[in-house]
Amino acid sequence: MEFDFNTYVKKLVKKDEIDKYSKELDTIKEKFYHGLNELCWYDMNKYVDNKELKKMLNLASELRRISDVILIIGIGGSSMGAQALIQAMSSYFKKSKPEIIFVGTDLSSEYLIDLQHYLKEKDVSINVISKSGDTMEVLTVFELFQSWMYKKYSEEEVRRRIIVTTSSYDGKLAYYATKHEYHKFHIPNIISGRYSILTPATLLPMALAGLDIVSFLKGAKEGRMYLNQAGLYAMLRRIFFDQGKVIEGFAIYEPKLSKFVEWSKQVFAESEGKEHKGILPIKLIYTRDLHSLGQFIQEGNPIVFETVISIDRTRTFKVDKYQETLSNINHTVEKSVCQAHLDGGCPTLIIKIGGLDEHSFGELAMFFMMSAAMSSYLFHVNPFDQPGVTKYKEIVGQSLRNL
């Protein structure tokens, strides 16, 4: 990975602003070395079990062999990481075999009815994921398809085709797994959902999609070497907030990163958005959004700063008009836009990964999780709880009980 936190920031950050947070940041970094339970995802050896990893790979291979479609049923941290990585490393147009379809992220009856019609003549397997085991959206969709599976297959075949991933021993999913003898994988209870990208919640769907989870985990482990850069990134975000820049635009020039930005939005928003604090993350897909939001960023209310996720190497071809590859043209536009937005008062932080591969995304995932945790500490909020999410779930639950 490469970082440029200087070229398109320049004089917008003063030395005294950096000095204000430097000592506090040093103290925050120490948390990563002291083995805090909440930061256990930082120490790979605490939760990546080789025996479970082998079981995961074997089951994934079997389900890939017998399935036309695999449904991944989950929401939030139980789904977004897998969606991000599978999209980033998949073809735009060629359907995978088996096809991976994500459900449980909404309650659209229109979508689910169409999906059942689509699956009618296909062999289907399911990986259902919920850390608590009781997430309303996930359970609603899973119970629908669990019933559908028993109408389609024998009990023995359904047992072969359903995998439960949960951290709970008393949630509804754990109950189903025990009752029906489904295969089960464990999410460490101490790890918040949005930080579970290095657990079976994401690793199993990746394996089901045919991705190299060993390389991904190796990249994440090596990504820990960027703790200092992650701290600098967190500090600059805090400084920009102090300057009145309360919105961060995650800008990408490769649409395959669209879901990855959605995962990044969740990690930052759910971690630091508490006590009326935090930065609002938004997604910018360039060059498309240069023709809309770009106008606001360049000349509108100066409340935005940008973080560009850049890719060093992509497949490409030569554009005769410019006697240059399209990838280099894309990078030229990227740098030109950074300069234009800086001229308009919008600073840009650049994070560059090597390519669209598992190792690179392992590094990037670790970088963003370290940054989000440190950024939350700089806002003096707990990076690992989500009281607002818990509150909405309580209200929805009560409303459903009153139906």
Report yes or no: 306 and 236 within 8 Å, Cβ to Cβ. no
Give the architecture-level CATH label for domain 2-31+219-389.
Answer: 3-Layer(aba) Sandwich (3.40)
Containing 319, the helix (H) or strand (E) segment is strand 318-319
User: Residue 43 — φ and ψ, nearest 5°?
Assistant: -105, 100
324 bridge partner residues: 319
Catalytic residue selected from 46, 152, 184, 393: 393
Domain limits, CATH 3.40.50.10490, in the chain: 2-31+219-389, 41-211
Residue 98 is encoded by which pair of tokens? 């088996």
Catalytic residue selected from 137, 248, 270, 306: 270
Taking only the tens of pLDDT, the chain with its 403 residues reads 999 999 999 889 999 999 999 999 999 999 998 878 888 899 876 667 888 899 999 999 999 999 999 999 999 988 999 999 999 999 999 888 999 999 999 999 999 999 999 999 999 999 999 999 999 999 999 999 999 999 999 999 999 999 999 987 789 999 999 999 999 999 988 898 899 999 999 999 999 999 999 999 999 999 999 999 999 999 999 999 999 999 999 999 999 999 999 999 999 999 999 999 999 999 999 999 999 999 999 999 999 999 999 999 999 999 999 999 999 999 999 999 999 999 999 999 999 999 999 999 999 999 999 999 999 999 999 999 888 888 888 888 888 888 8
Other beta carbons less than 10 A from residue 11's beta carbon:
7
CA atoms within 13 A on the CB side of 44: 16
Q: Which residue has the tokens 């967190």?
A: 234
Q: Which residue has the tokens 């951290």?
A: 167
For residue 168, what pLDDT is reported? 73
Pick the CATH number of 41-211 from 3.40.50.10490, 3.40.228.10, 3.10.330.10, 3.40.50.1820: 3.40.50.10490
Q: From start to end of 46-161, where are the E strands?
A: 69-73, 99-103, 124-129
| pTM, 2 dp | 0.95
Report yes or no: 367 and 225 within 8 Å, Cβ to Cβ. no
For residue 43, what pLDDT is reported? 82
Provide the 8-state DSSP code for 96: P
Collect all residues with Cβ–Cβ distance below 8 Å to 161 and sequence separation of at least 6: 63, 66, 67, 124, 125, 126, 149, 153
Task: Give the whole-angstrom CA distance, residue 198 versus residue 211.
Answer: 14
* Coil vs helix vs strand at 125: strand
Task: Give the whole-angstrom CA distance, residue 137 versus residue 284.
Answer: 28
Report yes or no: 249 and 67 within 8 Å, Cβ to Cβ. no
Q: Is 218 a known active-site residue?
A: no
Catalytic residue selected from 10, 15, 151, 291: 291
For residue 190, what pLDDT is reported? 87
Nearest to 41 by CA among 166, 167, 192: 192
For residue 47, what pLDDT is reported? 66
Strands 348-355 and 318-319, bridge-based pairing: unpaired
Q: Is 291 a known active-site residue?
A: yes
Q: Is 254 a known active-site residue?
A: no
